[in-house]
Chain A
Amino acid sequence: MNMKALPHQARIGRWMELANLATAGAALFLASVLLILFQFISLRGALLEDVSVQARIVGENSSAALLFRDGKASNETLAVLSDSPNIVAAGIFTAEHKILASYRRDGVSEVKAPSLALLKDGHDFSFNHLELARRVDIDGNTIGVVVLRASLDQLYTRLAGYAGLMLAIAIASLAIAYLLVARMRRTVKSAEAHLDYLAHIDSITGLPNRHAFNKYLAAALAKVDQFGGSASLLLIDLDNFKIVNDTLGHHSGDILLKLVARRLLECLRSGDVICRIGGDEFAVILETSDGASGANVAAKILAVLAAPFDVDIHEIYVTASIGISIYPDEAPDLETLTRNADTAMYQAKGKGKNAFECFHPELDLRVQKRLSLETNLRKALERGELTVYYQPQVSLRDGRLAGLEALARWKHPELGLISPTEFIPVAEESGLIVPIGRWVLRTACNQIAAWRDAGLGTMNVSVNLSARQTRDPHLMHDILDALHSAKVPASHLELEITETVLMDNVHANVDLLKRLQTEGIRLSIDDFGTGYSSMAYLKRFPVGQVKIDRTFVQDIPGDPDGEAITTAIIAMAHRLGLSVVAEGVETEEQLQFLRDADCDIMQGFYFAEPRPPEQVEAFLKTRAVLIAPRVTQP
């Protein structure tokens, strides 16, 4: 995986660690120095106290000796000091500062008679000695002075020991702190890495997710900005993944995604980045120096996906549509790059799927045109630019008019007549199909009423229902409202739903169709033969009629497959008790073939193109026999 930590982050981390350690060390050092200083002061104070007490004891014990000038007794008193570890020399002086007794260790000079300053202060610290003078009083009179000299050697030895201990403690505590911090840092780091993994990795395929994709893309573009070259973005959309998910279940869908991801990884170079950015969408970032490799990789991807995937017991064929966009040639920034790749991908899908498309500015124009079409379409309803045309359906049984199919037409004031194949997909995608469909329904119902009121009799009209409309919760209400307000019986309205829409969500649609049927509305399956109908479902749908898709009618007569399919559909529909409508009948030959195949109703330019209501009235008035009725077998 391309989840590498940036090297300078690691360096900063190491620096931070050292800085922390240095700070802690400095703090400990300062604390140690202060503690040692404190220790020095208190040791000095203790020594002073100690020596002072000894001076007092010596003074007390030698007061009588001082008075009686007894040097021997005084020397005996001082001799005791040899047991004191600190005191190296001592002397007892008379009030006249004459020495009475003296004590000194080997190699140490004798104490001298106290100076006035020493007598005044009581003691004097030099670097390695403490000299202390204490008056000996009796009955309020000073009778002599005791002078003691203590060495500071022991104090320094103790201080050194203390400092050594402090140092050892400081080093030990620093080491422990360092280990603890390092351990904590490792734990935090691994937790962070795990969180980062969760945030950036898609759990099903193990590929970076959309979040990571954005980062990678931004990084790749920044690299191009800095070092030149170019980057290609490939957006890959699996064409029929939804069907796999719906028919085999999510578990199989997940397995398929995993297998697809594995194959995609196999056909990429190590430096390329692949991410799963949506349910069935993948993105590949190529750091290329030429645009051609993007197409090469796309072709390679389509090739590796061509082989079937083994999911559980099923063998699944997966195709993909790929859109390619190149930075910075075709897009100046990240948003445009992504949008362009998306546009190209939809273009590839539009071209019939299992294809790749490189973005080119023309595509963008197409998208813009589509956008303006959508804007115009939004206004078309309000401005009354939409009209409904009706195409006659002729019964082969009696050769007369069997019904009309209502078809929306759009006449733009500037652009002229806009083809339904152009605006219906836009309406479908933008959701405008819902209000447009509702308007068509209402208009058709009103037309039925108008013709009836004009004495032209009742006429069955069929109206198309789009995928969006079937999901619209108000659909039922809208239909009944249209019928009621026009006072048209439900049996005059037929609703056509394409096979693809029906199969898209079988359960919900069975439910909807049953409710429509309960209301008395007739139902028909449009574009029959193009979807993935299951015969079992066909039985469950409460439909009365199927419409053979015009692509099959085009092929007859002459194409054996087309003929076989058409004959088979008619036969099957009749067996299931359904009537059959053939669309797109344009020639006498087609008519003849369908008549022979026992088709029930026909519709097409051969009889009449879709016309405005005024022009349909002629058919209604005459109700003439349009073709020769079927010759009924005796």
Chain B
Amino acid sequence: MRDMFLARLRSMMTCSAVLALLVSSPLLAQPVPEYELKAAFVYNFALFTDWPADTAFDGGTFNVCISPSSALRQPLATLNDKAIKGRRVVVRSLAALDSLRACHVLFVDGSDRERWIQIRKGIAGGSVLTISDDDEIGHDGSIIALTMDGNRMVFDIDMRAAKQARLTLSSKLLRLARTVQ
């Protein structure tokens, strides 16, 4: 299971290097493929989210975690060295589940369905912004759920989950959400 995850991650890395050249900015300069758009959305979500004051930023970095096998892993890597809340972004591959609490943003997709329950346990009590583009996970405890609505990217927000994670989502963000629960 773990090996498979790492293998997928490795294969994605070559892919994402190419994509990184295409995505020059998270601010969506031109029409971009779906994954790049999603990566940009992840970054934008972080911009409109406030973490509790007691949140730990070990090493002064802002950690964005993603499963090594995720298709978004490569596009998301472009966020490395960008800044969020004045901290350098580090995109981490989430191979093991022991370091979940160090994540500030966690992107999960369909490949993470099996261990979603474990992940939820791992991050319970911590302040981790969970974002998912998987329909199942997205409506089962993930704070933000990304969906394609036709050719538009839309998102839903689970305020209960955000409250549990002690995260404050900006009203600007809430206004843009398709649904807020």
Contact = CB atoms under 8 A, between A and B. Distances in A.
A598 B47 CA distance: 158
Given A64-B175, A73-B175, A139 B41 contact: no
A340 interface: no
Nearest to B43: A67
Interface string B38-56: 0001001001100000000
Interface string B60-102: 0000000000000000000000011110000000000000000
A143 B27 CA distance: 7
Nearest to B85: A139
Contacts of B176: 64-65, 68, 70, 73
A333 to B, nearest CB: 106
A68 B27 contact: no
Contacts of A140: 83
A96 B172 contact: no
B28 interface: yes
A68 B84 contact: no
A73 B154 CA distance: 13
B173 interface: yes
Given A61-B172, A73-B176, A95-B27, A68 B47 contact: no
A24 to B, nearest CB: 60
B44 A68 contact: yes
At the interface, is chain A mostly helix, strand, loop or mixed?
mixed
A96 B173 contact: no
A68 B175 contact: no
Contacts of A67: 27, 44, 47-48
A64 B27 contact: no
B13 to A, nearest CB: 27
Contact of A138 (B28, B29, B47): B47
A622 B92 CA distance: 180
Interface residues of A, number: 17
B173 A64 contact: yes
B41 A68 contact: yes
B19 to A, nearest CB: 19
Nearest to A63: B172
Interface string B142-181: 0000000000000000000000000000101101100000
Contacts of A61: 172
A69 interface: yes
Nearest to A139: B47
A139 B29 contact: no
Contacts of A95: 27
Given A64-B170, A68-B41, A96 B29 contact: yes
Nearest to B41: A68
A115 interface: no
Interface in A136-150: 138-141, 143
A241 B55 CA distance: 127
Please indicate which of the listed interface residues A65, A68, A141 has the most CB atoms of chain B within 10 Å of its own CB: A68
A311 B85 CA distance: 121
Interface in A65-105: 65, 67-70, 73, 94-96
A94 B31 CA distance: 13
Contacts of B86: 139
Contacts of A65: 172, 175-176
Please indicate which of the listed interface residues B27, B41, B84, B173 has the most CB atoms of chain A within 10 Å of its own CB: B27
Contacts of A73: 175-176
Contacts of A141: 27
A140 to B, nearest CB: 8
Nearest to B26: A67
A411 to B, nearest CB: 139
Contacts of B83: 139-140
A143 B85 CA distance: 16
Interface of B: 27-29, 41, 44, 47-48, 83-86, 170, 172-173, 175-176
Interface of A: 61, 63-65, 67-70, 73, 94-96, 138-141, 143
7 closest A-B pairs by CB: A64-B172, A67-B44, A70-B176, A68-B176, A64-B176, A64-B173, A73-B176
17 contacts: A61-B172, A63-B172, A64-B170, A64-B175, A65-B175, A65-B176, A67-B27, A67-B47, A68-B44, A70-B176, A73-B176, A139-B47, A139-B84, A139-B85, A139-B86, A141-B27, A143-B27
